[in-house]
Chain A
Amino acid sequence: MPALFRNCSLFKQLIVPMLVVGAIGIGALIASALVLQGSVVAVGESSSLGSELLRRLQEADKTIANVRVLSFKHLATESAEAMDRTGQALADQKRALATELAGLGDLCAEQAPAVLDEIETMTRAIEDYFGRVDEAVRLSREFEKEQAFVLVFETESRHLAAIRDSLRVLTRHAFEDIAASRENLLGSAERNLRATIAIGILGGLALLFIASFVSGRTSTRLAGLLDWSRRIAAGHLDAPAVATARDEVGQLANAMGDMVRSLAASRRALEAAKHEAEGVAERLRLYANAFDNSGEAMLITDRRNRILNVNAAFTRQTGYALAEVAGQDPKILACGRTPPATLEEMWRELRDKGFWQGELWDRKKSGEVYPKWTSISSIRDEAGAVMFYLATYSDISERKANEARIDYLAHHDALTGLINRYNLENRLGQVLLSAQRDRLRTAVLFIDMDRFKTINDTLGHHVGDQLLIEVARRLRACVRESDIVARLGGDEFVVVLTALGGDMDAAPVADKILRALSDPYAIEGAVLHSSPSIGVAIAPNDGQDGASLMKNADTAMYHAKAHGRNNVQFFTAAMNAAASERLALENDLRQAMQEGLLSLHYQPQVRAADGRCFGVEALVRWRHPERGDVSPLQFIPIAEESGLIDILGTWVLDEACRQLGAWRQAGIGGLRMAVNLSAHQLRTQSLVRRVADALERHGLKGEDLELEITESAAMENPECAIDQLQALRELGVQLAIDDFGTGYSSLAYLKRLPIQVLKLDRSFVRDIEIDRSDADISAASLALAHNLGLKVVAEGVETPGQRDFLVRHGCDYLQGYLYSRPLPAEAAGDFIRANLR
């Protein structure tokens, strides 16, 4: 190594190795940056694949639902002309779906061949389904409605089920895809970080080595020089020099040496000047070249900010050639999206510091608006007056898009698409600030799914993940758009209810969530039962900042777990008040039942044809000595949780039968009594015996009684429900499905349940006059029910318009305020007497 450096100048010895090491380092950094960029792009592509897949799947799901409703509508339509209109709408939806599916196929063929099979399976199932729907519609068009209905029922349970399975698998894939790309991103970022650190350490070591080597040599030489100059200073030049130095020749030689040195110095100066001049020329050529060939878009304006020159990259970026913009103000590029404050800052900095860089939004010649990273320098003459402005731009729209995508991944939970803990903390902070300003309450609900671990351990992560996705979906459905739903990890979720007026406003939502998450989960053909434990903390009383609210909600959640799961607990004051109110209600209810403070009211049901009374629905009332009327919505859940429902249900059944018997005695005959059964009662083994006892005790026949169950109670455990209902049928009791909606699963089950009556839910009836699709669904439900030989009772009929629609579509019985509110026994008796038969 020393030999290598012996004949080199200090410059070369020090600078060259440093340049080499630096260049290697920069090369390595660029390489790793390229790798990083490559992986970001790859992640971007794959994550956009996931979200694109998701979007298209949702679109497909919606279209299939539309096809379903339209096919029902077609079957329920009596006029050829109207059927053709529906048929047209149906064809449009099917075409839209075909396009959507083809797009989905292309998308996955390129980027996710793994799911192609599933898409093919789904496409086939959809084709089968559409084939059946086409066939049904063709029959319907020939007015063969019966055969059409048979086809639709059959295809409902076969093809729709298959389509939903495929949709679920694909949705899961889309979520997995988003999760995988996020992991890829993290992995490559980590690899890059390691590589960069390694390069940094190696480069630093190399530089340290060279610096120590060169400085070692230099100091040695300096020491020699010092020694030599000391010797010269001391008159001891090197031996020959010393020998000659003392004589005149030596002095002459010295003088000549001086002269030669001086000449040499002048010549060196001349050489240097020439070299510099060449350097300047070279630099100027370089600059011009650099300006023209720079990859960065550049623009030069004169002191009055008129464009003098632009380079080729500028033309490529903006689409403007020099001739088009020369002499113009660069303002012509602006699109108006850059905040005025940024522009003010730009001019201020240019004036004060001569340099500014930042983000501007401009418009290309094509009209496209894009963000660009801009650096502007003002070039001044010696007097300090501005001569030019030089601006360079780079298009950062892609970078911004990547940033946004990475931002999404960083802020959202990959499995469920909910926001994650990190994002929750930020957003909760903002929500609390604005709540403080507006003097509103904010509730934090900490939710933990009971038995999740068991499900995960016994049925596998796959099923557990599906459950979590479904939980997330239900949570979102329970809250408003402005509320926050987050997943912290595992089976822990947090819901933030924003802008609440009072502490107790959180309770109904918490209750709704409790009920929504307790409903059974149908996952991959299995029915799973899980329920949430929910802890609630409410700002500002239970904590002012996010961290303490979360902590307190967590504590409340543990209380909930300790209370036997599947319940809501509040923290501190609010919690105690709510809990003790509940407890008080429970005790009061117990007492009320003992003291006979509960009563039944009866709401008449009339025949649609003539408005005559045909039956009544028994509804339980509780007049509390202090609170006044307590709604069944409030005390039935308490009764269910505390086990009082058993006694309450039995009492209601018996009291309703007693009243019917009493009316009979009073000469009011031919009336049917409808009584609601809770899900809990339907599960009770002794139900059938109790019903039989009540009938016998009051001298009634089975057909005098109608028992109403909700769709969800029947679906909770269909096999058991069917057995119980069958046994009730054998007593001659009429069975009704309450709050009938149009869930995907309901039709297939409906055919299996031994029911005779279908109650059209008040929510559909309410919107019949307003919402076309509710009217369609109601009309189709009526047609379906009639085709199954069922009778239909419409609930909540309040206006003549609703009545007319229902009568027109053949509804059998009506119930609602239009006829009568629920009445106490005596008043109900009067109403019935006046309107019977």
Chain B
Amino acid sequence: MSHANRSGRRLLAALAFLCCLPAAMAGELRLALANSTCDAMKRVGDLYRRNRAVEIGYICKSSGLLAKGLAGGALAADIFVSANAEWMDYVVDKGLVARANVASPWGNALVLAVPAGSPLRIERWDELAMPRVRKILIGDPSNAPFGRYAKQALEAAGLWERVKDKIETRKNIELLAESLAAADAGTAGILFKSNLTDRLRETLAVNQSWHQPIRYYLAPLDAAADNAELAPFLGFLRGRAAREIFRAEGFDSEPR
């Protein structure tokens, strides 16, 4: 899209705003968010709304389901956040997002956790293969990137074949955090560090070299180019306040 064309559209959008809409009517933003970023983004949204009258809708799902929903028209959003490159590539390939608009603002790390009150002690990774660990929860590798990273890590550690009979998957990270918190003493789970809650206890950090770098990818959808709310919000996301929230939630908040 040429620059002249885009500013022309903005002008039109502004005119439409002035002529036809009541001044009090707030703009709207729809965010399709990888589950792991949901809490942090809601905080960012709340902060943003203190200074700007805008309705923000949050659609939280695993990245794969978001990508496929957007591609099939079952979901509509202005901004898409994927927890890995694969699902962002998918929407780019489907022509929904321009490659040039994709940014990678945050990173994350994986940890092995057990329920907060669990007596289970795990000090070395190969202890996962012992009988006292009866069940290991990971994300669904197909649609939830934190599961894909977990599987890569277990494979790299040479553990996958030994523990795969204990694996149970969850569709998204919020579900996993919840089931893990409510699980029995023989259960452990692998999730993003940012999604640890006070009902979970971290036992081991996953070696970063065991999996692809964990990076988030964020992009506006081409179809949302006319939304006047888009640019200011993207600007706010890049700002210090937003990055501070992400850092506090346990993300690596250095953009790449």
Chain A residues with CB under 8 Å of chain B are 78-81, 84, 141-147, 149, 703, 729, 734, 754-757, 786-791, 810
Q: Are B164 and A80 in contact (CB under 8 A)?
A: yes
Q: Which residues of B37-83 have CB atoms within 8 Å of chain A's CB atoms?
A: 64-65, 67-76
Q: List 5 A-B contacts (CB under 8 A).
A: A78-B169, A79-B168, A143-B169, A145-B141, A787-B143
Q: Are A80 and B76 in contact (CB under 8 A)?
A: no
Closest CB of chain B to A495's CB: distance in Å? 43
Closest CB of chain B to A114's CB: distance in Å? 47
For B168, give the chain A residue with the smallest CB separation: A79
Q: Verify if B245 is at the interface (C-beta below 8 Å from A).
A: no
C-alpha spacing A78/B136, complex, angstroms: 12
Beyond the given A143-B167, A756-B69, A756-B74, could you list 20 further A-B residue pairs with CB under 8 A, ordered by the A residue number? A78-B169, A78-B170, A78-B171, A79-B167, A79-B169, A80-B164, A80-B165, A80-B166, A80-B167, A84-B165, A143-B138, A145-B141, A145-B143, A146-B142, A756-B73, A757-B74, A787-B143, A789-B70, A789-B71, A790-B69
Q: Are A143 and B147 in contact (CB under 8 A)?
A: yes
7 nearest A-B pairs in the assembled complex, by CB-CB distance: A789-B68, A146-B142, A756-B74, A79-B168, A789-B72, A145-B142, A78-B169
Query: Which of A143, A703, A757, A810 contacts B151 (CB under 8 A)?
Result: A143
A residues less than 8 Å from B74 (CB atoms): 734, 756-757, 789-791
C-alpha spacing A755/B147, complex, angstroms: 28
A residues less than 8 Å from B65 (CB atoms): 786, 789
Q: Are B64 and A734 in contact (CB under 8 A)?
A: no
Q: Are A78 and B140 in contact (CB under 8 A)?
A: yes
Q: Are B164 and A144 in contact (CB under 8 A)?
A: no
Query: Which of A145, A729, A755 contacts B140 (CB under 8 A)?
Result: A145
For A754, give the chain B residue with the smallest CB separation: B73
Closest CB of chain A to B119's CB: distance in Å? 23
B residues less than 8 Å from A789 (CB atoms): 65, 67-72, 74-75
Chain B 90-117, CB-CB to A under 8 Å as 1, else 0, gives: 0000000000000000000000000000
C-alpha spacing A757/B73, complex, angstroms: 9
Closest CB of chain A to B75's CB: distance in Å? 8
C-alpha spacing A145/B73, complex, angstroms: 22
Q: Are A790 and B72 in contact (CB under 8 A)?
A: yes
B residues less than 8 Å from A791 (CB atoms): 69, 74-75
For A84, give the chain B residue with the smallest CB separation: B165
A residues less than 8 Å from B165 (CB atoms): 80-81, 84
C-alpha spacing A32/B18, complex, angstroms: 105
Q: Which residues of B135-180 have CB atoms within 8 Å of chain A's CB atoms?
A: 138, 140-143, 147, 151, 164-171
Closest CB of chain A to B246's CB: distance in Å? 24
Closest CB of chain A to B217's CB: distance in Å? 18
Closest CB of chain B to A470's CB: distance in Å? 34
With A789-B68, A789-B72 in contact, is A146–B143 under 8 Å at CB? yes
Count of chain A to chain B residue pairs whose CB atoms are closer than 8 Å in the complex: 73
B residues less than 8 Å from A787 (CB atoms): 68, 142-143
A residues less than 8 Å from B69 (CB atoms): 756, 789-791
Closest CB of chain B to A692's CB: distance in Å? 17
Closest CB of chain B to A695's CB: distance in Å? 16
Q: Are B170 and A144 in contact (CB under 8 A)?
A: no
Q: Are A143 and B72 in contact (CB under 8 A)?
A: no
B residues less than 8 Å from A788 (CB atoms): 68, 72
Query: A143, A729, A788 — which one has the most chain B CB atoms within 10 A of its CB?
Result: A143
A residues less than 8 Å from B169 (CB atoms): 78-79, 143
Closest CB of chain B to A783's CB: distance in Å? 9
C-alpha spacing A755/B171, complex, angstroms: 22
Chain B residues with CB under 8 Å of chain A are 64-65, 67-76, 138, 140-143, 147, 151, 164-171
C-alpha spacing A168/B180, complex, angstroms: 50
C-alpha spacing A539/B138, complex, angstroms: 67
B residues less than 8 Å from A755 (CB atoms): 72
Closest CB of chain A to B159's CB: distance in Å? 14
A residues less than 8 Å from B141 (CB atoms): 143-145
A residues less than 8 Å from B70 (CB atoms): 789
Query: Which of A142, A734, A756, A786 contacts B164 (CB under 8 A)?
Result: A142
B residues less than 8 Å from A84 (CB atoms): 165
C-alpha spacing A789/B167, complex, angstroms: 25
With A78-B140, A78-B169, A80-B167 in contact, is A146–B64 under 8 Å at CB? yes
B residues less than 8 Å from A754 (CB atoms): 72-73
Q: Are B151 and A756 in contact (CB under 8 A)?
A: no
Q: Are A703 and B143 in contact (CB under 8 A)?
A: no
Closest CB of chain B to A754's CB: distance in Å? 7
Query: Which of A144, A729, A757, A810 contacts B142 (CB under 8 A)?
Result: A144
B residues less than 8 Å from A734 (CB atoms): 73-74
B residues less than 8 Å from A78 (CB atoms): 140, 168-171
B residues less than 8 Å from A729 (CB atoms): 73
For B70, give the chain A residue with the smallest CB separation: A789
A residues less than 8 Å from B72 (CB atoms): 754-756, 788-790
For B134, give the chain A residue with the smallest CB separation: A81
For A81, give the chain B residue with the smallest CB separation: B165
Closest CB of chain A to B72's CB: distance in Å? 4
Q: Are A80 and B68 in contact (CB under 8 A)?
A: no
With A143-B140, A144-B142 in contact, is A80–B168 under 8 Å at CB? yes
Query: B74, B75, B140, B168 — which one has the most chain A CB atoms within 10 A of its CB?
Result: B74
Closest CB of chain B to A32's CB: distance in Å? 72
B residues less than 8 Å from A147 (CB atoms): 142
A residues less than 8 Å from B71 (CB atoms): 789
C-alpha spacing A79/B164, complex, angstroms: 10
C-alpha spacing A147/B170, complex, angstroms: 17
Closest CB of chain A to B155's CB: distance in Å? 10
C-alpha spacing A791/B67, complex, angstroms: 13
For A140, give the chain B residue with the smallest CB separation: B142
B residues less than 8 Å from A756 (CB atoms): 69, 72-74
For A758, give the chain B residue with the smallest CB separation: B74
C-alpha spacing A145/B70, complex, angstroms: 20
Closest CB of chain B to A826's CB: distance in Å? 26
Closest CB of chain A to B112's CB: distance in Å? 17
C-alpha spacing A149/B141, complex, angstroms: 13
For B140, give the chain A residue with the smallest CB separation: A145
C-alpha spacing A815/B68, complex, angstroms: 24
C-alpha spacing A79/B141, complex, angstroms: 13
B residues less than 8 Å from A79 (CB atoms): 167-169
A residues less than 8 Å from B147 (CB atoms): 143
C-alpha spacing A142/B155, complex, angstroms: 11
For A78, give the chain B residue with the smallest CB separation: B169
A residues less than 8 Å from B76 (CB atoms): 703
For B57, give the chain A residue with the smallest CB separation: A670
A residues less than 8 Å from B142 (CB atoms): 143-147, 149, 787
A residues less than 8 Å from B140 (CB atoms): 78, 143, 145
Query: A142, A703, A729 — which one has the most chain B CB atoms within 10 A of its CB?
Result: A142
C-alpha spacing A149/B143, complex, angstroms: 12
A residues less than 8 Å from B64 (CB atoms): 146
C-alpha spacing A215/B168, complex, angstroms: 105
B residues less than 8 Å from A144 (CB atoms): 141-142
C-alpha spacing A757/B72, complex, angstroms: 10
For B62, give the chain A residue with the smallest CB separation: A786
Closest CB of chain A to B50's CB: distance in Å? 20
Closest CB of chain A to B177's CB: distance in Å? 15
B residues less than 8 Å from A786 (CB atoms): 65, 171
Closest CB of chain A to B4's CB: distance in Å? 27
Closest CB of chain A to B164's CB: distance in Å? 6
For A703, give the chain B residue with the smallest CB separation: B76
A residues less than 8 Å from B164 (CB atoms): 80, 141-143
Closest CB of chain A to B221's CB: distance in Å? 14
B residues less than 8 Å from A790 (CB atoms): 69, 72, 74
C-alpha spacing A81/B147, complex, angstroms: 18
Closest CB of chain B to A475's CB: distance in Å? 39
A residues less than 8 Å from B75 (CB atoms): 789, 791
For A837, give the chain B residue with the smallest CB separation: B57
